[in-house]
Amino acid sequence: MKKIAIYMRVSTDEQSVDSQRASTLARAKALGGEVVVFTDVVSGMKSSRAELDEMMAGVRAGQFKAVICYKLDRLGRSLAHLAQMIGELDSYGVGLIATSQHIDTTDANPVARMQLHVLMAVAEFERSMIRERTLAGLEAAKKRGVTLGRPVGSTSIPDERKKKMRKLLDENPKLSCAKLATALGVSVGTAHAWKKSL
């Protein structure tokens, strides 16, 4: 039988999950079945959270029938992240319950599903706006003559360094660019460009 996952999060050790625990456990009890609790003490902006990652691995493994949280902001770090998680839960047939926001997709609740689809649409709109602004910024930079991308390492080698580099490579032809860069006092990109130019 599939289990129920409860996810709780606070940002600091000084905060308590007590209010989240009471609400989510009561809802889990009403659903019935074995409950697995995941608790993170970490900022909501962190992209990787140990307990959240473990819970989502369980979702992907088909262990859970529902995920319960107190509020959606406890779960997702941003609207886009939340939309991604909702989409993933939906694709694995896992219901989502946010107890304080009266969202429950476990019983084919059409109102809750509509709320989630609106959230996902807003997140998609936000992603497309960010992409559009980024592309516009890049285009404006190109028009101003800004060279985009990573700078290419210098290919002109001073004679003194050229001799030193040849000596190092003769002694060890498999010398890495990182070690060569350290020995010559240049960037790895420059060492790579110089090595290629020999």
For 58, the enclosing helix (H) or strand (E) is: helix 50-60
**Distance between CA atoms of residues 147 and 155, nearest Å:** 18
Tell me the CA distances in angstroms from 195 to 71, 86, 167, 169, one per residue in order. 56, 49, 12, 9
Does residue 16 sit in helix, strand or coil? coil
Residue 128 has, within 13 A of its CA and on its CB side, a CA count of 6
Which amino acid does the sequence have at 77? R
Which one is catalytic: 11, 16, 91, 128?
A: 11
Does 11 participate in catalysis according to the annotation? yes
Does residue 81 sit in helix, strand or coil? helix
**Positive/negative CA dihedral, 171, 176, 180, 183:** negative
**Distance between CA atoms of residues 88 and 30, nearest Å:** 24
**How far from chain centre, in Å, is Cα 67?**
19
Catalytic residue positions, numbered: 11
